[in-house]
Amino acid sequence: MDKELIHFELNNGVRVIHSPAKGKIVHCALMINAGTRDEEEENTGIAHLIEHCIFKGTRTKSSLAILNRIDSVGGELNAYTTKEETCVYVSCGLEYFERALELLTDIVLNSTFPEKEIIKEKEVICDEIHSYLDSPAEQIHDDFEALVFKDHPLGRNILGDEKRLKAVKRNALTKFVSKHYGGRKIVFSSSGNISPLKLKQLSAKYLSPFGNQTDGMDRKPFSSYKKIHAIVKKDTFQTHCLLGTVAYDSQHKHRIPMILLNNLLGGPAMNSRLNLAIREKFGITYNLDSSYVSYADTGIFNIYFGTDPSNMDQTLLLIHRELKKLRSRKLTELQIQSAKEQLIGQVALSQESRIGAVLNNAKNIFLFGNVDSFSTWINKVRKVSASQVLEIANEVFEEKELSMLAFSKK
């Protein structure tokens, strides 16, 4: 199943990771190790604003030419911003690989940020903010992180807020790009039937113009978690609730066991413990899951559910009951082996999404400097012990350390 990855670094520090694959489609991404947590407080939302504006014109292309460059050959061009990275990516026919690479580097390197387009995109993002505020199931996740990571850049909303967003000046965008968009803060990741020689030639041609910024981070570490409990009155049909706490960072030895534990508790499968114990048994909630996200220096775990206001207390009671089971009862050999096989199978299925693998490879280069083969990752999962899972459950699921945020009519 594994194929030998091609991995090399250019003289300016830009790293390239490529996964050989058969077929007539190529996927490629340019990822920048900079996101919301790298913004100045007065420029909250600027990383996401830049992501919008890089499509609005370069020194040689109009915004229409940028959109047509890939769309006209049936490909897809997209981008996203997170707390720690910004990424632009393309999927297209194999014969258009050079076109895709040229376009990605051009919009990241040579965007001109026309003033009128910045104003327009600010309005688009404000509309995006309003849309998000109309979705309490989405809003509560960001509001919860704002409370857990209080007064820290990780607590900032990726979209920013209207007042600060509208005040951002063009020179702030160019300053952010100049600081972060180059050298070892850039990874180019791809997958397709590209020869190593061609990959190296085209990488040198299009990626060499990037500056040689180091990957040294001046990110403010997070270390001041305090439990919070808040119920916010909202005119919604359902009560929306998040229960959670800080968790392990991306480099922590417990990261993979935590992924396994989270998947067992409230992952996407219908046989997750929360789904079986609450939705299937009592039918009092439709949306119920848990999630674990790791950042460079910390992480966050939470359980989300939406239910009728009259069922909130019962749902919380049942959730705490399941967490207590995991804290007090070590998994049997059969249970932990089953949990491992499920996680391995889910990740194997996700590998079918080659663009997902491309994005994951780029992020792994930033985090670890390399990409484990799937078989190596499987071996790490198989080494997780029931004792590790019990230890983690007692660290992360400790009831007195869990924060709660609810949106409710009550």
Distance of CA 354 to the CA centre of its chain: 17
Q: How many residues does the chain have?
A: 410
pLDDT at 403: 98
pLDDT at 81: 98
272-318 pLDDT, tens digit each = 999 999 999 999 999 999 999 999 999 999 999 999 999 999 999 99
pLDDT at 216: 56
Taking the C-alpha atoms of 384, 246, 348 and 268 in order, what is their torsion angle to the nearest 10 degrees?
110
User: Could you tell me the CA-to-CA distances from 79 to 51, 83, 149 in Å, in that order?
Assistant: 7, 14, 26
State the pTM of this model.
0.93
Sorted by sequence, the CB contacts under 8 Å of residue 245 that are 6+ apart come out as: 148, 225, 227, 300, 301, 302, 396, 398, 401, 402, 403
pLDDT in 10s for each residue of the chain, 410 residues:
356 899 999 999 999 999 999 999 999 999 999 999 999 989 999 999 999 999 999 999 999 999 999 999 999 999 999 999 999 999 999 999 999 999 999 999 999 999 999 999 999 999 999 998 889 999 999 999 999 999 999 999 999 999 999 999 999 999 999 999 999 999 999 999 999 999 999 999 999 999 887 665 678 899 889 999 999 999 899 999 999 999 999 999 999 999 999 999 999 999 999 999 999 999 999 999 999 999 999 999 999 999 999 999 999 999 999 999 999 999 999 999 999 999 999 999 988 889 999 999 999 999 999 998 889 999 999 999 999 999 999 999 999 999 999 999 86
211-255 pLDDT, tens digit each = 887 665 678 899 889 999 999 999 899 999 999 999 999 999 999
Contact 182, 12 (CB under 8 A): yes
Report the distance separating Cα 313 and Cα 323, nearest Å.
Answer: 15
Sorted by sequence, the CB contacts under 8 Å of residue 214 that are 6+ apart come out as: 13, 183, 184
Which CATH superfamily does the domain covering 6-207 fall into? Metalloenzyme, LuxS/M16 peptidase-like (3.30.830.10)
Residue 284's CB is within 10 A of a number of other CB atoms, namely 17
Tell me which residue of 27, 45, 49, 23 sits closest to 36, measured CA to CA. 45
Contact 147, 230 (CB under 8 A): yes
- Domain 6-207 and domain 229-408, same fold? Reply is yes
pLDDT at 224: 87
Per-residue burial over 183-213, b if 16 or more Cβ lie within 10 Å, else e, is: bbbbbbbbbbebeeeebbebbeebbeebeeb
Sequence ranges of the domains in the chain? 6-207, 229-408
pLDDT at 4: 86
- What letter does residue 308 receive in the DSSP assignment? -
pLDDT at 351: 83
HEC per residue, 320-373:
HHHHHHHHHCCCCHHHHHHHHHHHHHHHHHHCCCHHHHHHHHHHHHHHHCCCCC
In CATH, what number does 229-408 get? 3.30.830.10
